[in-house]
Structure 1
Amino acid sequence: MSKKIIVIGGSAAGPKAAAKARRMDEFAEITMFQKGPDLSMASCGFPYFIGGFFDDRNKLLCTPAGAVRDPKFYWNAKGIVAKVNTEVTRIDRQHKKVEFTDLMTGKKGSQSYDKLIISTGATANMPPIPGSDLDGITNLQSMQDADYLRKIRDEGKIKKAVVIGGGLIGIETLEALHLAGIELTMVELLPQLLTFLDWKMAKLVQNYLKTKANVITKNGVAEFKGENGKITGVKLQNGTEIPCELAVVAIGVRPNIGLAKEALLDIGSLGGITVNEYMQTSDPDIYAVGDCCEIKNIITGKNVLAPYGDLANLEGRVAGENVIKGNVASFPGTIQTGICKLFDYGIGITGLSETKAKEAGFDFVKVINASPDKPGFMDGKMLITKLIAEKESGKILGAQCIGPGDVSKQLAIWATAIKGNLNVEDMVNADLPYAPPFSLAIDHSIASAHILQNKMNGVFEGISGVDLMEKLNNNEDIFLLDVRGPDEYEQTRLGLGETLIPLGTLRMRLDEMPQDKNMEIITYCKISLRGYEAAVLLKAHGYTKVKVLEGGITAWPFDKEK
């Protein structure tokens, strides 16, 4: 007798689970229920549809070969019954059936299952403040939201908009609307954008974003203002009012667990469905995948919410195999690798940030490397990487990378290193592909490992811009040494009373250095490669407290003189 498989949810994880189940068993009866009208939407592509990177909305629903994934496609190509505009309203665990309603006709029905996969996704958060029901306020969670914002772009009537929330979706939505010629303000309640990054890295992103839009942090929205049912502005908690004709709310999502909760399935402390490594819930015949469930962070061992499209597909693949073959496939968890595009910048993280490493109780070392992704003669672009490793073992714990260079490549290298339990020593001689069109002779990632190795071995002593500024604010006696050339110094400088002595003249000008060789000296240049060489030179001449400003001028997160 053929197995009866039901999948609730048709966005990412659900269709992947259904397709995998079909490949495991040609004769299983597989039905997928989708509350909305569309199936297998590439939701991560919504901002790029809105921004005009492509114009055909069906490309968000297509296979690589160009076939639209609609119910007809699922039946003809995969033998899967896909019911759209159909909401599952109840899971009856005792009788192993689901109850559903056709949203177009109102007709109700029920269907039995042997195995059930819940893929109900997440719901966008909306602040509980006055005016939330005004026209012109939207999220970017569904195809309908994407259609609405694309229409706004195409019509070109809206001049001012506010994006509320400085996370991944907010950042990508802001870029999309900016490309439509809309004047934009981003509002973030927390002290920084992109909270998965450490403050300094996020501040560098914010400094860049300010060249494109107005950015407000440490201030939330108190009220949406409107006239005749339409939004006219946003009032902030400090009383400031920002006129606008559109507000996009991107303040995160929460797992959609209504069905699971009513069915008395176990729910985790973070509000997601509890699953084991097989994506199996507390009911052995029910699995859950995607944004609705909690999964384990591989590094810390603690559960996290990780609403990422790639993870949803991986989880769906595991569940699809297990509902047919038994629990033969497992999903180990996540290291929470994420990336986004912001105009010319890539921004991403894999593994733990410094903040998360502290919370997890790790004793770690960190460095910042600012250097190009390719040689200058191949139009290399700058990258800034923050690398974190366990102090005793050297095990890689996390990497953050931003800049106009190839951020994706760097994150892929470090994500693989983390999953492979590699340490700093493993990475200092990594055999990566090299040719000038693709990388430096010593790839940016290997250079980052070299700096961290030097730091762990006591050869290099660095200091972050944040820590340096704290010392200066505390009026500590520090000698700042800029070893760039005069032309670079004239273009931009820290403006903190630093002394300019170009590296090429330092040996001849040691008499201009402090006479007290125990005085703290901070050396730097554009990316602090010359700064490091200056520090080595000064230590050789008896200076005992020499540190290098990690990342140099490039990674300085505060305002600079120009």
Structure 2
Amino acid sequence: MSDRPKRILVIGGSAAGPKAAARARRMDPRAEVTIIQKSPDLSMASCGYPYYVGGVFDDRNQFLCTPTGVVRDPRFFMNTKGIEARTRTEALEIDRERKVVLCRDLEQGTDSEVPYDKLVLATGARPVMPPVPGTELKGITTLQSMEDADYLRRVRDEGTIRNAVVVGGGLIGVETCEALELAGIHITVVEMLPQILMFLDWELAKLLENHMKAKGAHVITENPVSAFLGENGTLTGVKLANGTELPCELAVVAAGVRPNVDLARAAGLDIGEAGGISVDPSMRTSDPDIYAAGDCVEIPNLLTGKKVHAPYGDLANLQGRVIGTNITDAGEAVFPGTIQTGVCKVFDYTAGATGLSERHARAAGFDVVSVVHAEPDKPGFMGAALVVIKMVAERGSGRLLGVQCVGPGDVSKRIATAAMALHGGLTVDDLTVADLPYAPPFSPAVDNLIACAHTLQNKMAGFMDGISCREVKEKVDRGDEAFILDTRGPDEYELMRLGIGEVLIPLGALRGRMDELPADKDHEIICFCKISLRGYEAARLLQAHGWTKVKVMEGGVMAWPFAREK
């Protein structure tokens, strides 16, 4: 066996690549580790781009720094880690038989071959551009690179643009919307699908859309871009499928990304059905000496078993660490897959999800039951803020399938807890007795996630017949003869009311006013309050007095995603 140090070559210097290289260096101090990076920057914290654009921080180097403030440039990688990082260098071709990669120095214009024993592909993803006329116009950009972030930051700082369109209502789209709106630019978000943030179910996405509109943004759904309009090579507007023209001087395309697999495909590596490089749990490709990680790969969804493209920075780092272990023979590390956990900030709200939405769970063939629960994230005397949670479980087994959460309260904490519950294969019953930390500055005595599980447990046991706000609105629009009972107090009713024909009977007065309810015990009654806790108590009371079709509007007024009368 040769005593020559192992040659490890990494293509891609954003997240997965540097993590794999750094882990490999720690596992094998003798290895020769090289990073090839086309961009001039390394280890960019790309998820921070919208916040730089929005002026949350001003020092560009903060994208590139260690926690102690040292910029991760080629000198840092060589001096601190003993890793050669070649920036402004493009990998052109992989010769698997000779185990070399043809590279081009983009500054010198010269080509060279770099040998490897183990090769890591971390080539990332490319933004999707709408297949419409005008994409070449000046004023159209994405937010995929440091160059894009620099351009949009200049737009913000110069203050000359007044109107912009964000094409796409996903994570990057809504974060970019906030960044540009805070810069004083009037924003319209255009989404071709029926809602923004497709990882949420419609009713929670609608709450977030309402909040964006309240902050001054305009949101258009189900009306895709049909053309970019311009004069003299410069963008002047965006035309939609229905003929509407939106004047603007800037368009940010955030319509998703596709795995960048050109290099892998040309080398004959297997590409999967989701469009990413195929890898096994060790992150090894179809070539045993080539590994891949990050936005260029596809991985299993742990709940459905289906391969998915999950372009998240946290997953890229985890996968890179697994590769760094395996290419140095330091162990047998595995990355089993993803439950696709995500979170984003939009103005004063946070939106997060983990696992499957109800829509995706049904599409995957699960028999599901779900509930929406609204509640403050801590006691009122500690400055409570609302969180609205939707929990999805498998009917029968009660196995947790997914959790979504939106609101101005502490959403991230609930999503993180739910993600670990999914990793542990917990059921709704398990969650109802979970031992989570409690103190008034941080949560209610019964945490929101546990309280949501209690509500779903009641629904699954038949103690509560829940109905969504959307179903209630559909009943009202059809003219169904349901009796809608608002159990809040008169002061709450005067402050805010839905205006859907509801009858106000406060819970404390309900026992003495049952003669005001439908005499027919089989008449449908829908109860609600601010969050529908009193609505649930009213429903149990009416059931005890013989009414047979009593429902609770899940989440109450706080989860109502439609216009209110007051």
SS of the counterpart of 1:41? coil
The RMSD of aligned alpha carbons is 0.9
Match of 2:197 in 1: 194
Size of the alignment, in residue pairs?
562
* 1:328 alignment partner, one of 309, 326, 332: 332
Q: Find out whether 1:402 has 2:382 as its counterpart.
A: no
TM-aligned CA deviation for residue 178 of structure 1: 0.8
CA contact (8 A) 2:192 2:222 kept: yes
Q: What is aligned with 2:390?
A: 386
2:438 match: 434
Q: Gaps (5+ residues) in structure 1?
A: none
* Letter matched to residue 403 of structure 2: A
1:235 maps to what in 2? 239
SS of 2:177's partner is helix
Structure 1 residue 211 and structure 2 residue 210: aligned?
A: no
In structure 2, which of residues 23, 27, 43 is the aligned counterpart of residue 24 of structure 1? 27
Q: Is the 8 A contact 2:53 2:156 kept in 1?
A: yes
1:549 CA drift (Å): 0.1
1:372 is aligned to 2:376: yes
Task: For 2:65, give the aligned amino acid.
Answer: C
2:154 and 2:510 map into 1 onto residues whose CA distance is: 60
CA contact (8 A) 1:290 1:312 kept: yes
Query: Which residue in 1 is equivalent to 2:316?
Result: 312
Once the two structures are superposed, residues 126-175 of structure 1 have per-residue CA deviations (whole angstroms, 9 ceiling, x without a partner) of 11222111111100000000000001111111111111100000000010
Q: Out of 280, 283, 290, which is 2:284 matched to?
A: 280
Offset from partner CA, 1:100-126 (integer Å, 9 cap, x none): 001111100001111100000000111
User: For residues 270 and 552 of structure 1, what CA distance do their matches in structure 2 show?
Assistant: 39
State the 1:473 CA deviation: 3.5
Indicate the residue corresponding to 1:183 in structure 2: 186
Separation in structure 2 between the aligned mates of residue 326 and residue 355 of structure 1, nearest angstrom: 42
Superposed CA offset, 1:490-542 (max 9, x none): 22222121111111111110110110011110000111011011111111111
Q: Could you say what secondary structure the match of 2:214 adopts?
A: coil
Which residue of the other structure, out of 445, 450, 458, is the alignment partner of 2:449?
A: 445
Matches within 5 A, 1:449-528: 449-528=453-532
Q: Distance in 1 between matches of 2:331 and 2:392?
A: 35
Answer whether contact 2:105 2:111 (CA < 8 A) is retained: yes
* 1:116 has 2:122 as partner: no
Q: Deviations over 1:404-424 (max 9, x none)?
A: 000000001100000011111
Kept after mapping to 2: 8 A contact 1:367/1:388:
yes
Instruction: Please report how far the alpha carbon of residue 481 of structure 1 lies from its aligned counterpart in structure 2 after TM superposition.
Output: 0.3
Distance 1:511 1:127 in 2: 60
Query: 151, 157, 165: which one pairs with 2:168?
Result: 165
How far has the Cα of 1:487 moved from its partner? 2.0
Partner of 1:537: 541
2:254 is matched with which residue? 250
User: Distance in 1 between the 2:210 and 2:155 partners?
Assistant: 28
Amino acid at match of 2:124: G
SS state of the match for residue 354, structure 2? Answer: strand
| CA-CA distance at 1:472 after TM superposition | 3.1
Q: Deviations over 1:329-356 (max 9, x none)?
A: 0001000000000011000100000011
Q: CA deviation at 1:327?
A: 6.3
Residue in structure 1 matching 2:155, options 149, 152, 155: 152
| Number of the residue aligned with 2:274 | 270
Q: Distance in 1 between matches of 2:485 and 2:355?
A: 34
Q: What secondary structure sits across from 2:421 in the alignment?
A: helix
SS in structure 2 of the partner of residue 325 of structure 1: coil
Which residue does the alignment assign to 1:223? 227
Residue pair 2:394, 2:401 contacting (<8 A) in 1 also: yes
Report sequence identity in percent.
64
Tell me if the contact between 2:27 and 2:330 (Cα under 8 Å) persists in the aligned partners: no
The equivalent of 1:414 in structure 2 is 418
Unaligned 5+ runs, structure 2: none
- Aligned-pair distance for 1:484? 1.0
Q: AA paired with 1:264?
A: G
Aligned to 2:39: 36
Give the counterpart letter for 2:62 in structure 1: K
1:269 counterpart SS class: coil
The superposition leaves residues 276-308 of structure 1 with CA deviations (integer Å, 9 ceiling, x where unpaired) of 000000000000000000000011111000000
Question: Which moves more between the two structures, 482-491 or 156-165?
Answer: 482-491
Match for residue 58 of structure 2 among 44, 55, 60: 55
* More off after superposition, 467-476 vs 454-463: 467-476
- Contact 1:278–1:327, Cα closer than 8 Å, also in 2: no
Secondary structure of residue in 2 paired with 1:247: strand
**Amino acid in the other structure paired with 1:206:** E
Q: For residues 72-91 of structure 1, what are the structure 2 equivalents within 5 Å?
A: 72-91=75-94
**SS of match in other structure, 2:345:** strand
Query: Which one-letter code corresponds to 1:254 in the other structure?
Result: R
CA separation of 1:82/1:325 partners in 2, compared to 1, >3 Å: closer, same or farther?
Answer: same
Question: How many Å separate the matches in 1 of 2:327 and 2:26?
Answer: 12
TM-score, normalised with respect to structure 1: 0.99
CA distance in 1, matches of 2:65, 2:451: 40
SS in 1 for 2:94: strand
The residue type equivalent to 1:196 in the other structure is: F
Q: State how far apart, in whole Å, the 2-side matches of 1:340 and 1:44 are.
A: 10
Structure 2: how far apart are the matches of 1:293 and 1:545?
Answer: 50
Find the aligned partners of 1:431 and 1:39 in 2 and give their Cα distance.
42
Superposed CA deviations along residues 21-58 of structure 1, whole A, max 9, x for unmatched, are: 00110000110000110000000000011111110000
Contact in 2 for aligned 1:398/1:418 (Cα 8 Å) = yes
Aligned equivalents of 2:45 and 2:246: distance in 1? 33
Distance in 1 (alpha carbons) for counterparts of 2:499 and 2:475: 15
| TM norm structure 2 | 0.98
CA distance in 1, matches of 2:43, 2:371: 41
- 1:326 deviates by 6.6
**Which shifted more, 252-261 or 488-497?**
488-497
